[in-house]
Amino acid sequence: MKKLLLIGLFLISQGAWSQKNTDTEDIKILIEDFFEAFHAQDSTALKEFAHPEIKMQSVAIDAQGNTNLSTEDYSGFLKSIASIPKSTKFREELTDFKINTNGMIANASTPYRFFLNDELSHCGVNTFQLMKSEGKWKIIYLVDTRSKLGCK
């Protein structure tokens, strides 16, 4: 009887250790995987992270100090990533994560620094809007800021 009790307690404790990730953890993993695929120029994987109706925009300050908003089609983004020459090195380094969830929607903010051929090109913040459908998080909106000022 003691052996059965010990085995039962062992199985219960194992179940407690193997709990599923929280939504916040799942979103962080999704974003990290997104950037892993981005750096690998894997447009097939990048497509999997996004909802088919994803919207993408960028906010940047031009040489005259004007703030501009640009919109890009996700399929255009995928083509541009896949077409980067292999001789060009690029890396987006995320410096933090702030994730808020509310049921089936979430927001994630990731400050970043972007390096092109090992030189700091610009910095900014990515903001991801996500939705949970059929138990999986998908990116539905991605907007980033881009600046050459204040990058550390």
Q: Closest Cα to residue 30, out of 114, 130, 134, 141?
A: 130
Kindly calculate the radius of gyration of the chain based on its CA atoms and give it in whole angstroms: 20
- Amino acid (1-letter code) at residue 27: I
Q: Is residue 59 part of a domain?
A: yes
Q: Is residue 103 part of a domain?
A: yes
Q: Is residue 106 part of a domain?
A: yes
What's the pLDDT tens digit per position in 98-122?
Answer: 999 999 999 999 999 999 999 999 9
Range of the domain at 61: 21-146
Q: Residue 9 — pLDDT band, cuts 50, 70, 90?
A: very low
| Count: domains in the chain | 1
pLDDT of res. 65: 82
pLDDT of res. 38: 97
CATH assignment of the domain containing 80: 3.10.450.50
State what percent of residues in the chain have pLDDT above 90. Answer: 79
Q: Is residue 72 part of a domain?
A: yes
- Mean pLDDT (whole number) for 87-95: 96
Q: Is residue 39 part of a domain?
A: yes
For 1, 16, 19, 109, the CA distances from 6, given in Å and listed in that order, are: 9, 15, 21, 46
What's the pLDDT tens digit per position in 17-59?
Answer: 556 789 999 999 999 999 999 999 999 999 999 999 999 999 9
Q: Is residue 109 part of a domain?
A: yes
Q: Is residue 137 part of a domain?
A: yes
Q: Which H or E run contains 48?
A: helix 43-49
Q: Is residue 107 part of a domain?
A: yes
